[in-house]
Chain A
Amino acid sequence: MSILNATTTSGVVLTGDTTGNLTIQSAGTNVATFTSGGLTYADATTQSSASGVAKAWGKNNGGASGIVSSYNVSSITYNSTGNYTVAFTNAFSDANYAVMSGAFVSSASLALRINSQSTTGFTCETLSNTSSDNNAGWAFSVFR
């Protein structure tokens, strides 16, 4: 893996190889890696300080059926019909983040309402005029 390291003593130091991958370092610490698949941040903490990227996201089947996939989410708790708590793996420094969300249902009248936000997670609720849709699947992303 080729490494481009911004050092505090020698400036930029390049260590090359033929993998086709490039890792960016700051004073010897990995920040991000470019591969043929795209950009990957070194860890969630590094990504959380980057601008313009989702700091957390998740997709849920709805109800008690659980999580399909996620990032920077430690758990999703089903509390009652349509009512959930999302917990972040790495907490934010404050609760001033934006949650974008949507639900998977044919009804046009279903909405996902954010009820509360904290540094460690948020609570939300799926709302519909058709009770059978209240446990529809839903997804979210978090930006800050």
Chain B
Amino acid sequence: MIHPQATPSTVKMGLPIPNSKLGMWLFLGTEIMFFTAFIGTYIVLRIGSPGWPDNPEVTHIEIWAGGTNTFVLILSSYFVVIAHEAMSKKNFRKARNFLGLTLLLAFLFLGIKSFEYYGKFQHDILPSHIPESNAQAIAKVERQLERIVMAEYDALFPDEPNMDIRRQKVASAEATEPEKTLKALDDEFQNLRSHISANVSMSAELNQREEIVKLKDGTQFTGFATSPPGADPIIYQLTAGGKRSVKKADIDVPMAGKEPPPINLDEVKEHIERMHEHPLYGSLVAHLEVSHPIMYGNIFASTYFLMTGFHALHVIIGIILFGIVLLQWNKLNESWSDWIENCGLYWHFVDLVWIFLFPLIYII
């Protein structure tokens, strides 16, 4: 028998959840892939890099900061759940309070993260800033000292770009006190630079290598090469006195004798520390420090900032989402329940990512 009134269909299409919740879960699915790309890359790079820095004194990773942040996020997740439960019981005041607490905890997380980032910036643990060998550390401090010297020249002679003229002015008898200070600093920098490029210890003089030179005509002499490396003919200061010019082609036996020791990082460090105490220019180089070389340091910094930076960005987005709800304040009603549930899902995901980031970065 056909009823005149159509009965509603009992067949239900789709999932038994609001579209917004499905949309949020689909988004979280993409976020899982997003973060797994970074975390997976970090894991793979780390396994493939024997010698990866894991000493907290080297990486300046503080476990107390990571542990506190973990607790902060877990507590905030708990508060979000309490707020959502309060919304379902139409206790909007309680929901508002707990969402407010969640927001405060989110700011606390960002505050601790900012403190950590500040420490990284202070120690120059940034991608492409970290020397990975002694040679790179020496080259870096040379560049930094050059920048200080050039900045002083630019400050004292803003209208004169020519370095030769600038150097003449600081070396002249009419030079002012700041110019004399700069000359002393520049001389010290040039001395350091010469030793670095010649790879000669700071304790040895440049070009002072006593050599026994045997010539093809059977004669030999002892002296110091005074020409730059690679020069031909070579000018020798004879130990017995006088000078002699010798072509490389006339030398029978490769030059022997004591080579000056090569420059090393420790003496550059000591040299910089002595420069700090110089009465004239010590204040100009007060912030100059020799960076400790960290093998794989740059890729460590890259992966660290990539993972934690994107996570912090997600925390900021979460703050905006909760902020939009809290702006309703007294007008918060049950129409906001879905929003709060979806924000809660997003926030739990942010917590989930940190649950994995914390052990990977801070503990392992």
A interacts with B: no
Interface residues of B (CB under 8 A from A): none
Interface residues of A (CB under 8 A from B): none
